[in-house]
Structure 1
Amino acid sequence: MRKLVYYVAVTLDGFIAAEDGTFDGFIFEGDHMAGINAEYPDTLPTQFREALGLLDAPNPNFDTVLMGRNTYQVPGGLASPYAHLRQFVVTSQELDTPDDVELIRENVAGRVRELKEEDGLDIWLCGGGKLAAELLPLIDKLLLKIHPVVFGRGIQLFDGKADITRFKRTDARLFESGVSFMTYERP
C-alpha cells in the first residue's frame, strides 16, 4: 500500500505560509537546498526540474501529488505545477484546470484511500493546512523542512480540528543554513 506523505516547509511556530498564502520568509538558499532537492527532485515544480535538466529523470519517491485549492492557486502559481506527477486538487469550488489536474470535490478521505490502494510510488500531500488536518488519520509520514524563522501568524501546519496523533521521529538532518529536515512516521 502506498503512503500518504505530508512533505512541507514549516516555520518554528508551525506555519506553512503567511496569511496571504505566500512563503517568502522561507530560506531558498543554502546547503539544505542541494541536499533535499537531490533526495526529493520529484517535489520540484516541473519548470524548475526542466531548468535543472531533471525533466526526464525518474521520480524516486512520489508519482502523485495532492493539494488544496489555496496551495494550487498560490500567487504566481502555474496551471499545471507538477506535470511530472498525477495532480489532484481538493476543492468544493469550480476551477478551470488543465486536463492533467483532477479535482476532488467530495469524499476526500475515500478518494485518498482509493489512491493509497493503487500500485505506484507514495502520494505527496503538499498542502494546505486545512486539508492536512482533514486527512491526518490517513497521513503515514511527515517530512518537515523546519526553517529558522517565525511568521507569527499565517496558515498552520494542521489548520483545523485534529485528534491527538503520535508520530515517531525516524530521521533528523541539520543543515548549516539553519534548516532542519525531520522525518516522522506512524509507529
Structure 2
Amino acid sequence: MALATDLDLDQLVGRARRLVVPGRRRILGVGGPPGAGKSTLAGELVGRLGGEAVLVPMDGFHLANAELRRLGRAERKGAPDTFDAAGYVALLRRLRSPDPGTVVYAPDFDRTLEEAVAGSIAIDPRVPLVVTEGNYLLHDDGPWQQVRDLVDEVWYLQIDDSERVRRLVERHVRHGKDRSHAERWVKESDEVNARLVAPARMRADLVISGARSG
C-alpha cells in the first residue's frame, strides 16, 4: 500500500511528465472519494502539460437521468451501478492502443444539465498521455475491476472529511439544489459512495494528502 504524501503541484506535474513518452500512449488515473478535488487536480495537470495530455473524466459515463429513473436508481446517482462501467472500460482499451490517424471521441459530463454529453472530447492518437479521473478507478467489483490494469498509474486523493463534505454541499448548491436538499444528498448518497471508495486506496500507486481546491 502506498504511503500518504503531500506533494505540491509542481512535484505532481513532474511525476506525470515522466509518463509522457512520445509515440507511446500512457494513461494516468486520479481517484478518490467525492469532493476530494480529483477533477481540479486532473485539469491542472493537463493544463500544465499542454498538448502532451488530454483529460477524459469517468463521469462522462453516468447513465442518463431518464434511464436512472427507469431503473429506480435516480436517488443513488453516483453509485457504481449508475454508470456504464463496461463502456468506460471499452474506451480505456481503445485509448491504450490508438489507431494511427483515428481520433477517438469521449463523452463528458455537464454539471449544469446533470447529463453526460456524447462526443465531447477529441483524443488525437498522437497525444501521449490521457489523464482520467473519477471515484471508481480502483473499485474491485464488476467491470470496474478491469480499470486498474488499463491505467499505468493511479493516484488517490484524500483530504479531511469535514472539508470534503463542505465542498460537496457547496458544489450541489452552485448547481441548483437548495441547501437542505444538498446536505441530505451528501449524507445519503455522496458519503455512502465515499465509504465504498475508501478501502481502494491500498491499490493506488500514490496517495496524496492535504486540501486542494475542489
* TM-score (structure 2 length as normaliser): 0.36
**Which one has the bigger helix percentage?**
2
* TM-score (structure 1 length as normaliser): 0.39
- For the pair shown, which has the larger CA radius of gyration, 1 or 2? 2
**Which one has the bigger strand percentage?**
1
